Amino acid sequence: MTAQKNPTGIDIHEDAIEIDAAIVAEGLGLVASHVPVLMRSGEITSLCERGTEYDAGRHRLTFFYQGKRFRVIIDGDGRLIQRSTIDFGGRPLPPQLRRSER
């Protein structure tokens, strides 16, 4: 599978998923140009999970920054199914919010 160009800003490749920095920035309350810098420095971390069974063909992308967790769920074509943000303000995220949900 080669890249599937999607107007949503989420492209699925054979071995990676690319998401537009503007989507991540909006979810985390940042400026889009800061997202790549914060990711390179390790201040924004991420988790990508592939759905199984009922969720086969879907992916859950989760981004963590300070006291925030931003999550998007996409289908196999890169279309956005769901998005959510949890913001704990100045407090750190509880450890259970940094794990995958199995």
Domains for the chain: give ranges and CATH numbers: 10-88 (3.30.505)
- Given a contact cutoff of 8 angstroms between Cβ atoms, the answer to whether 64 and 27 are in contact is no
Residue 1 has pLDDT above 80, yes or no: no
Mean pLDDT, to the nearest integer, of 17-37? 95
Whole-number pLDDT of residue 48: 93
pLDDT 10s digits, 30-73: 999 999 999 999 999 999 999 999 999 899 999 999 989 999 99
